[in-house]
Amino acid sequence: MSEQNFDIVVLGGGSAGYAAAIRAVELGLTAAVIEKDKLGGTCLHRGCIPTKALLHAAEVAEVSKDAAKYGIKAAFDGIDMSGVAAYREGIVSSKWKGLQGLLKARGIPVIEGEGRLVAANAVQVGDDRYVGKNIVLATGSYSKSLPGLDIGGRVITSEHALELDFVPKKVAVLGGGVIGVEFASVWRSFGAEVTIIEALPHLVPNEDESVSKQLERAFRKRGIEYSLGVRFQSVTQNDQGVVVTLENGQTYEAELLLVAVGRGPVTENLGYEEVGVTLDRGFVPTNERLETNVPGIYAVGDIVPGLQLAHRSYQQGIFVAEEIAGLSPIIVEDVNIPKITYCEPEIASVGYTEAKAAEKFGADQVSAFDYNLAGNGKSSILGTTGSVKVVRVNDGPIVGVHIIAGRAGELIAEAQLAVNWEAYPEDIAPFIHAHPTQGEAFGEAVLKLAGKPLHAI
Ligand SMILES: NC(=O)c1ccc[n+]([C@@H]2O[C@H](COP(=O)([O-])OP(=O)(O)OC[C@H]3O[C@@H](n4cnc5c(N)ncnc54)[C@H](O)[C@@H]3O)[C@@H](O)[C@H]2O)c1
């Protein structure tokens, strides 16, 4: 048995864990990362990166189907899933190599193996013990299912969906949240018939209602079906496919059922509770400094209650390293972290929805302007529709921005600054936006809220 000592021992080498180690070493501390699978975790290997590669392939399929609209002679001749897989795997493996290089260049050891918390200052891997003045738990999340709904065969999660080597003819998607609508969008572009089942009254129910409604219209137009406000009851499967039954008695036949009802924390059988770390429904509650109830043990990423996003994980990893190094870092609240859903059309948002802002500040204290992209030249050129909604406190700052448009995700950075810096529309209005860009839509909404509309009424 060997023992090695570090300032910080990080359990889990995903976005949160490796960010903590990198920042710690930049600050002159020593850190080691323990990883049982591959450095980069869910985001790099099973989540953000490979799914966005699939979504880009889907976009290329749509563009090639639409080529004639632009006077281009091209014919869409189907999807070669082995080609899609090669493209996707190529991106993942190059990012993986890059990440390994980043940690190596900083001298951060990555210990391969399954770690277990064995004391408030130690993680064990096989016979070896890694002792840290501080421990950072960063063990991530897994695709959840519903009680009584077993994953297997034709009932799959996003991990399996990513690896499919064929395009299903007909798919049922359980859950109209982020993962559900992203896969529905890909499969539809690849030619599948898709039905989404969502228990709440709207798709992407955490977004501003106006955005959900626009997505529903756009999906309907694309031929994506959905049942809203109805819960799943049961599924049966055989060699041909699945039959899904809903609580209202409706049934759907499909080749596959994708279960996308959320992700649960990976915290079981890792020694957390034995060492005294309190869990709450499997998640690890922390104080505002991200420290658990056991002094010196911190938690970051998807195991911490709240948004499960890679960039929140980066933020938390950096934060914890700075906290341990004795700096006084600040952390952005979940509500002010930008969120992007990469379906077609794409959705991006930051801050309060109009309804949540009304709840928080009072309905008569909030104004919103929803700029329709029909008035935006670049959007017409790109053939995208949608809108940019800006929510402000009356005579006060911008508190929310909600975008639905092709490439909406690339438009959210400016809105994120406005919301986090509590900018007033009047502050931003003088900074005219470059023309023609989709970014002008945010500028137009801001001009309107500042009382000087240009291309809006
Ligand atoms: N682009 C991105 O940033 C991205 C991509 C993928 C995943 N993620 C994150 O991963 C996490 C998991 O994503 P997800 O889409 O699985 O979860 P989610 O929470 O976004 O959506 C799950 C949906 O399933 C519905 N649901 C739950 N039980 C149901 C039932 N019995 N019948 C019908 N519908 C039911 C819920 O109402 C909800 O809308 C999320 O936190 C998400 O933000 C983010």
pLDDT given at position 171: 98
Cβ of residue 197 lying under 6 Å from some atom of ligand 1: yes
Cβ of residue 180 lying under 6 Å from some atom of ligand 1: yes
Q: Give dist(CA 257, CA 245) in Å, integer.
A: 11
Tens-digit pLDDT profile for residues 144-188? 999 989 999 999 999 999 999 999 999 999 999 999 999 999 999
Q: Sorting pLDDT into bands at 50, 70 and 90, what band is 1?
A: confident
pLDDT given at position 145: 97
What's the pTM value of the predicted model, to 2 decimals?
Answer: 0.97
Evaluate if residue 234 carries a pLDDT over 90: yes
Contacts of residue 144, defined as CB under 8 A and 6 or more positions apart, other chains included, come to 261, 262, 263, 264
Tens-digit pLDDT profile for residues 342-379? 999 999 999 999 999 999 999 999 999 999 999 999 99
Q: How far is CA 105 from the centre of its chain?
A: 28
Q: What are phi and psi of 442, to 5 degrees?
A: -65, -45
Average pLDDT, the chain: 97
**Residue among 212, 263, 307, 347 whose CB has most ligand 1 atoms within 8 A, to mutate:** 263
Q: Which residues are catalytic?
A: 435
**Residue among 261, 302, 343 whose CB has most ligand 1 atoms within 8 A, to mutate:** 261
Evaluate if residue 107 carries a pLDDT over 90: yes
User: Does the interface predicted TM-score (ipTM) exceed 0.90?
Assistant: yes
DSSP reduced 3-state for 107: coil
